[in-house]
Amino acid sequence: MRNGSVQHRSFSRVLIANRGEIALRVIRSARRLGLGVVAVYSDADRDALHVRRADQAVRIGEALPARSYLNIPAIIEAAKASGADAVHPGYGFLAENEQFARGCKDAGLVFIGPSPEAIEAMGNKAGAKEIMAKAGVPIVPGYQGADQRDEVMLAEAKNIGFPVMIKAVAGGGGRGMRLVTDAALFPDALRSARSEAKAAFGDATVILERAIQNPRHIEVQVFGDSHGNAVHLGERDCSVQRRHQKLIEEAPSPAVTPELRAKMGEVAVAAVKALRYEGAGTLEFLLDASGEFYFMEMNTRLQVEHPVTEAITGLDLVELQLRVARGEALPLKQQDIKFSGHAIEVRLCSEDAAHDFMPQSGRMARWQVPDGIRVEHALESGAEIPPFYDSMIAKVIGHGATREEARGRLIVGLEQLTALGVTTNQAFLMSCLRHPGFAKGGPTTAFIGAHRDELLAPRADAAFDTALAGLLLYVTNPRAPVWRRGRSLSVAFPLPAKIEIAGHAQELEVTRERDGSYLVATEAGQDRFEIEQFDSEMIRFRHDGVTDSAKFLRDGDRLYVQRRGIPFAVTDLTLAAPKATAANGGDGKVRAAMNGRVVAVLVKPGDRVTSGQPVLTLEAMKMEHVHKAGIDGVVAAIDVAEGEQVTTGKIVVEIEAG
């Protein structure tokens, strides 16, 4: 299953068949090896940073992935047009698509990854499990059959026993994956998983597995070359997940002993050698409480979380990919690989954790990354985050001599990172890192589900946020007196205001005192602020004898604030007209909760529905989101069609009460 003979592998220009932070990551290593780089882009990414950083860039189609980043002929034609002689697929999109790897090879391009045969054998979950079972690796019981009829799948699920996992056969990253606890829920979950898998990978085929409750998700990084060499680079713990997608990854795993690491690594390397596998790969396992591990799948590509392995090994995994792809032998043996310290990575996503991790798109008005910590991203102030792709917008990696040191550095890095204008999971990530269960190294895949209320609990100083927001709205008002440090000539009349914060409307008053301080009266009491420094981006103030600071961004009636790494948004409602209808569908109108594409209309005009009943499914950022009726009644109108792209707030279904 090798890529081909070594002598035909020289290349000088690499086309990166991906976007965003991974495209920039590949550019960095390719340039260090003296290689030219070519970017590809969709209409949504025309002005993206990865396009401007590459030597050349080629448009490959419209915004939807199926018409651009999943368009194999367009990408191969882009390589030919630009003179590229190699292709790096990154991760996601076509990275594990054997047809793409084969198409590159047939076009005379070096595919920087394993052979099409290896991708087909191991990238396919069903095929990989069969190969591993023959090799004696423990396998989770399940169904990998070719017969995908609904009734067959339901029968097999019952044979396996609930709960079961539905998994996209060609997938990864949690797409096309559903946990089903009851036979009655199986048909809807199967349809949804297939739809999501088709949109993300172009293949709706799924497999079934028995759900192992509360395991750890452990993966082993491997590398092989065309000379028959293979090594493992240790394991990563990816147990902290939401929606079956990884959120926090670390290396090494707190749950893996040296003996278990050697055993898992031995299994992984044996598999690589048996396949004569070339390039980077990852074998993923479930580790139960007794220490038994079960093979899940093999990812025949670079992983999102590869930086934590780079941090503890000192290796550049993208450079190793490039060297192996041009026929070089791996420059190190297993005994040469040393591990240093501990590394933890978090995935910063444009999503609203408080609202079921709903994807968010829009303009990132202010973006600043801290010094002294690794941040992988492709953002800048003013960048647009489109609704068509993955919600992950950056990765922040902390490395230290110990796990606690890495955790501390990561928390400080997140506190200093600024992301204003689009809602992200920044505060949620910090809450996870600070949770005692995570600090002790004990999280399983049930961590977020088990501690969700704690992780999303309102902060103890939420009332202070309201007061600070009132102060900022006052001093940033275009009609407000210009702030000057020191005493005021007179006491200003109290300025009444009404704001919305954390979904709640509150009234307050702000007064400039004669001594130059500001008094903010809210429903919770009074707060006095003395401003020490103030400009268009930052305020430094004294409150209760303590000097503190906050970053902010005023955008019309919208105010974005970040203090100690925790962002929040405020809307000035003082002059706003009363809302005429309920945004939650209480008026009978179901509105799109995000920019997205309609993938399923679940009702038709004339149908009787009850409050909470699913009526429509949108896909945004590769994930499906069910929209439900807000009232009991009869469907009066369907205002969209399947396949249509809609914007946030658009009415999609109308229901008449009755």
Active-site residues, by number, are 301
Q: Give the Cα separation of 321 and 62 in Å (integer).
A: 30
CA angle in degrees (0–180, nearest 5) for 503-508-513 = 145
Strands laid side by side in the 36-42 sheet: 56-61, 36-42, 13-16, 86-88, 110-111
* 340: helix, strand or coil: coil
Q: Give the Cα separation of 237 and 60 in Å (integer).
A: 36
Q: Give the Cα separation of 571 and 560 in Å (integer).
A: 9
Residue 188 CB neighbour total at 10 angstroms: 16
The pairing of beta strand 538-543 with beta strand 110-111: unpaired
Name beta bridge partners: 131. none
Q: What is the DSSP letter of 178?
A: E
With contact defined as beta carbons under 8 Å apart, do 563 and 546 qualify?
no
CA angle in degrees (0–180, nearest 5) for 588-589-595 = 150
Strands laid side by side in the 608-609 sheet: 589-591, 651-657, 633-638, 608-609
Chain CA centroid to CA 27, Å: 21
Burial class of 338 by CB neighbour count within 10 A (0 to 12, 13 to 18, 19+): exposed
What is the DSSP code string of 543-599? ETTEEEEEEEEEETTEEEEEETTEEEEEEE-TTPPPPSS-TTTTTSEEE-SSSEEEE
With contact defined as beta carbons under 8 Å apart, do 636 and 654 qualify?
yes
